[in-house]
Structure 1
């Protein structure tokens, strides 16, 4: 992944640093979006870097269009690698890896955040604002239990359903 990360950073015409490479490679390897703390914990053992530097790299990745971020219900930013078609600098890019609008699913149990396909027309909400409003962004977050937590609940005897 580090080679792919290095190439992506180089394609931005930016200076390739070890921290940028490690942060982007970690996002590329992650199965779900990561908070700053989760990312720091994952790269802390492989690179000597402080929290502020990791945060600055994350901000640079978002501004460069290489990553996107979304705030969870807990108001913690989570970051994931951007896909082709994502908008550079946006708080959250809305195009999934197929160029389709997408939303997120946040698990109530493990707090992980996943990209999911969004209903057709989610971006059309920007066209339906009252007169005088100028929208730039639509976010969709579904909350519930992820498959791993549903399975863990079943194994523990918790048969509740999520709607």
Structure 2
């Protein structure tokens, strides 16, 4: 599936891009570079160096197959664009305790009317609070 998505985006299909996009699709929440490195650390696969992973992530974001967001600690997190590829504007919940970023199935409110000559490229709507996991730990 990932190879088909990469090909359809007009990008050269490589084993590295397929592995990274597969990892993003299987993730339940956006992943940091370090978390992706750990997921890709399969002994059956050739190792991927840090710079290569950064380049692959940048290319997947540039072609619209991945989304890049920054968490409350300033760490970039990546997720598969999936159904949001057509509509990249969506809502994130950012946990102020653990720094986790969670994509929500919700539309952000409409943007304000822009002054003449302005062009909107993206709407970023973030909710901040405590995630379910951290809430459970606080209650224990």
Where on the TM-score scale, by shorter chain, does this alignment land: which range?
0.7 to 0.9
Residue 14 of structure 2 corresponds to which residue in structure 1? 17
What residue number does 1:153 align with? 138
CA distance in 2, matches of 1:106, 1:124: 20
Equivalent of residue 33 in structure 1, options 30, 34, 44: 30
Following superposition, the deviation at residue 75 of structure 1 comes to 2.3
Establish whether residue 110 from structure 1 lines up as the match of residue 91 from structure 2. Answer: no
Q: Deviations over 1:94-124 (max 9, x none)?
A: 1xxxxxxx2100112222211114456x233
Q: Which runs of 5 or more structure 1 residues have no equivalent in the other structure?
A: 95-101, 156-163
Equivalent position to 1:44, from 41, 44, 60: 41
- Compared with structure 1, are the counterparts of its residues 86 and 123 closer, same or farther at alpha carbon in structure 2 (3 Å cutoff)? farther
d(CA) in 1 for partners of 2:82 and 2:20? 16
Alpha carbons of structure 1 residues 133 and 12: separation in structure 2 relative to 1, 3 Å: closer
Whole-angstrom distance in 2 between the partners of 1:106 and 1:79: 14
**Alignment partner of 1:60: what SS?**
helix
- Alignment partners' CA distance in 2, 1:49 and 1:114: 26
CA RMSD of aligned residues (A): 2.2
Q: CA deviation at 1:141?
A: 1.0
Query: Under a length normalisation based on structure 2, what TM-score does the superposition of the two structures give?
Result: 0.84
In the TM superposition, structure 1's runs of 4+ consecutive aligned residues that sit over 6 Å from their partners are none
Alignment partners' CA distance in 1, 2:17 and 2:66: 12
Decide which of 124, 128, 131 is 2:111's aligned counterpart: 124
State the shift of 1:64 in Å.
1.4
Classify the secondary structure of the residue corresponding to 1:141.
strand
Q: In structure 2, list runs of 5 or more residues that go unmatched.
A: none
Q: How does 1:50-129 map to 2 (within 5 A)?
A: 50-86=49-85, 93-94=88-89, 102-118=90-106, 122-125=109-112, 128-129=113-114
Query: SS of the residue aligned with 2:110?
Result: helix
SS of residue in 1 equivalent to 2:127: strand
Report 1 or 2 for greater relative contact order, CA contacts < 8 Å, sequence distance ≥ 6. 2
- Aligned position for 2:124: 139
Aligned length: 138
